């Protein structure tokens, strides 16, 4: 038995709190969670049943927290958790779960299975059973500051383009700004038009904002892989930067899991409340619109539909704002049959699965669910609010040779501004 395995078991043991104990106590093995998981519905493989992915943690719980388990252990009976369990379950825990949270919405006894899988990953990582792609992304995030290796120089280059295109000056490290905006690496590298959109919207709305040169990255590989120390370190960088600049509100980018990381898990990871607020960009845009600071010119007549990023909507609680915003610029916005908190995941899972190269074939297979949703509607313009969802959707659409355009909601709003300061 290796030392790492023992440490992994210990890490797993530390995750078992009252919530998890109540969840395992309540589970009656009804299997209904399978019907909510796209990895099961698109493959019909029972091993992808969400609660089955927790078998290693359940094994430990049963042996150490239940009467029969303790009795069995005392008599030398029953099966203890083994290194083979970690090895066998690694792909189930990482490759076939995007932490989308859909299973948690349907469990008849209310089990938050996603919460348990997130916690189980802590033990798996310590035991050494995590995908290399995610390990590498976490290492880059800690060393360089971004899971994709985006440095401050890369950001500066992207901002230089924005400044050239818009004629605006992007406020860097502005002391006492109201808002400090974060980005995801995916936005900086693949969708710099998001940064331009933010700049144009904030200029039009007269928002006092800045970007920190010390902490501009919002994604958190530590949460995805299940490394609370790394996750805390990444959150702390943002907190320290915001405190130094005297920021009132930190703005989470569209990126779904970045929002979960900084808004909901962040304070718990660093063990203290923030001295500032955290707001998702869509919440801010909706707020600006309601305050009359965001004047939108016209409505598009092109039929549009919305893909809800799981971490923003189902796990984040930003449900109404994207709909209000999209309705304000789209004349024909049609919801998918399953939408809002019950929308289906794109299959990328807030970067977790997309940073895990070996999961790609499965990811493309389960994209069939999104394909069917789009086919049912027959709409070719798909609006979303997460750079990671966007890249996963684009890959899936291309793989299926579908002629659907994917648009960022923030960018769509920016394109409909009445008063565009960049053109003044």
Give the footprint of another protein on this chain (CB under 8 A). 16-23, 25-32, 34-36, 40-41, 46-47, 49, 51-52, 65-68, 104-112, 115, 263-268, 271-274, 277-278, 314-317, 319, 338, 341-342
Minimum CB separation from another protein for residue 153, in Å? Answer: 33
- Tell me how far apart the alpha carbons of residues 115 and 91 are, in angstroms, rounded to a whole number: 18
The nearer residue to another protein, 242 or 391, going by C-beta atoms, is: 242
Task: Kindly tell me which of 199 and 312 has the beta carbon lying closer to another protein.
Answer: 312
Closer Cβ to another protein, 52 or 63, answer by number: 52
Shortest Cβ 335–another protein spacing (Å): 13
N-terminal to C-terminal alpha carbon distance within the chain: 69
Q: Per the structure block, which two tokens stand in for 252?
A: 């989470």
Residues 6+ apart with CB under 8 A from 45: 39
Q: Which is nearer to another protein, 145 or 309 (CB)?
A: 309
H helix intervals, 211-347: 221-225, 228-245, 256-259, 266-270, 281-290, 320-329
To the nearest whole angstrom, how small is the minimum distance from the Cβ of residue 237 to another protein? 18
**171 or 317: whose CB is closer to another protein?**
317
SS3 content of the chain, % helix, strand, coil (to 5): 55, 10, 35
Beta carbon of residue 293, minimum distance to another protein (angstroms, whole number): 22
| Residue nearer to another protein on the CB measure, 41 or 365 | 41
Query: Smallest Cα–Cα separation from 158: which of 133, 193, 126, 132?
Result: 193
Closest approach, Cβ 166 to another protein, in A, equals: 33
Tokens of 187: 């936005």
Whether the Cβ atoms of residue 55 and residue 46 lie closer than 8 Å to each other: no
In the complex, minimum distance from the CB of residue 297 to another protein, in angstroms, rounded to a whole number: 31
338 CB burial (10 A radius; 0-12, 13-18, 19+):
middle
Our CB check for another protein shows the closer of 93 and 158 to be 93
Query: Residue 358 has which token pair?
Result: 């070996």
CB of 18 to another protein, least distance (A): 4
Kindly tell me which of 271 and 292 has the beta carbon lying closer to another protein.
Answer: 271
Q: What angle do CA 84, 88, 93 make, to 5 degrees?
A: 125
To the nearest whole angstrom, how small is the minimum distance from the Cβ of residue 106 to another protein? 5
Q: State which H helix or E strand residue 166 sits in.
A: helix 152-166
Radius of gyration of the chain (CA): 22
User: What is the DSSP-derived secondary structure letter of residue 183?
Assistant: B
């Amino acid at each position: 038995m290796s030392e790492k395995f023992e440490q992994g078991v210990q890490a797993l043991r530390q995750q078992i709190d009252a919530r998890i104990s109540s969840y395992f106590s309540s589970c009656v093995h009804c299997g209904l969670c399978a019907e909510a998981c796209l990895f099961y519905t698109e493959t019909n493989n029972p091993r992808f049943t969400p609660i089955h992915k927790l078998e290693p943690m359940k094994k430990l719980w049963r042996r150490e927290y239940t009467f029969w388990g303790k009795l069995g252990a005392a008599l030398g009976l029953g099966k203890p958790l083994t290194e083979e369990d970690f090895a066998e379950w690694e792909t189930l825990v990482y490759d076939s779960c995007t932490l989308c949270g859909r299973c948690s919405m349907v469990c008849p006894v209310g089990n938050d299975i996603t919460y348990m899988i997130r916690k189980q990953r802590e033990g798996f990582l310590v035991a050494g059973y995590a995908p290399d792609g995610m390990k590498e992304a976490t290492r880059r995030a800690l060393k360089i500051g971004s899971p994709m290796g985006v440095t401050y120089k890369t950001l500066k280059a992207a901002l230089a383009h924005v400044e050239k295109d818009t004629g605006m000056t992007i406020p860097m490290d502005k002391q006492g700004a109201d808002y400090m905006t974060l980005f995801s690496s995916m936005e900086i590298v693949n969708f710099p038009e998001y940064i331009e959109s933010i700049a144009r919207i904030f200029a039009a709305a007269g928002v006092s904002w800045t970007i920190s040169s010390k902490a501009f990255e919002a994604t958190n590989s530590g949460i995805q892989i299940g490394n609370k120390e790394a996750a805390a370190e990444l959150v702390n960088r943002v907190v320290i930067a915001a405190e130094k600049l005297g920021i009132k509100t930190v703005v989470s980018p569209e990126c779904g899991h970045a929002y979960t990381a900084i808004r909901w898990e962040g304070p718990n990871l660093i063990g203290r409340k923030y001295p500032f607020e955290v707001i998702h960009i869509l919440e801010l845009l909706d707020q600006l619109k309601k305050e009359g600071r965001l004047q939108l010119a016209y409505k598009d007549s092109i039929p549009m539909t919305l893909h809800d990023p799981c971490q923003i909507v189902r796990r984040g609680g930003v449900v109404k704002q994207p709909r209000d915003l999209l309705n304000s610029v789209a004349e024909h916005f049609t919801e998918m049959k399953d939408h809002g908190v019950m929308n289906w995941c794109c299959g990328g899972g807030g970067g977790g699965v997309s940073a895990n190269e070996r999961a790609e074939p499965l990811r493309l297979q389960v994209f069939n669910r999104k394909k069917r949703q789009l086919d049912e509607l027959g709409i070719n313009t798909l609006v979303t609010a997460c750079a990671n969802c966007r890249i996963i959707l684009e890959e899936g659409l291309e793989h299926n040779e579908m002629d659907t355009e994917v648009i960022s909601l923030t960018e769509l709003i920016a394109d409909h501004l009445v008063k565009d300061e960049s053109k003044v």
